[in-house]
Structure 1
Amino acid sequence: MVTSGDIPGLGLPDIDAHSSLGGLGPVELHSPSQDLDGDGVADSLTDATPHDTSVWSDFDHDGIADHVTVVEADGDYAAWEYHRFPDGTSEWRRTDQGNLGE
């Protein structure tokens, strides 16, 4: 479930592998620090806590995250993609989920 708390310092929503992201909307990425797609431009932020690790990525470099993956300490994981539609609406769609131990 998406909560109202932000991850300190990064300004990213606090999500877990069971979040729906239904009402989340666009998430701005400020100062990405990793280049996950290897194009030479930093596109992602990673946050690790004792409970989980999340990776937020902006592969089209528009300042808005278009992919997020979270892996929890118990092995539960999930991934979502952000979609914007011509009519101005948008949504996060879950693209994967499961448990690393299964």
Structure 2
Amino acid sequence: MNRHGVRLGKGAGYSDIEVALLQEAGLVGPETTIVTTVHDLQVTDDDLPETTHDFSVDIVVTPTTVIRCDEPRRPHGLLWDDLPTDKIAAIPALAARLRRQRVT
């Protein structure tokens, strides 16, 4: 994680999917503050890679400091073209959302 709120995870994008689903449901918006906790050793000053589906956090809390990040980035919902069929099938909330989209 860096001081701009850019996160590094395990690479599967599950957090990004959760935030996108919450946005589509109207439960997370631009005014929603997203906070995370990490150890001091997990914060870097370096730039970190970001993709179009990534979101950033607003505040990072460590045992010794609180970092307020500038200009958080939020996706505008799910990027269906970036989701492999097997991942959609493995996540019940995604599979159900896709089925609802096809019916409407």
Q: TM > 0.5 between the two?
A: no
Structure-1-length-normalised TM-score: 0.26
**Larger RCO of the pair (alpha carbons < 8 Å, separation 6+):** 2
Is the radius of gyration larger for structure 1 or structure 2? 2
Structure-2-length-normalised TM-score: 0.26
Kindly indicate which of the two structures has a greater share of residues assigned to helix.
Answer: 2
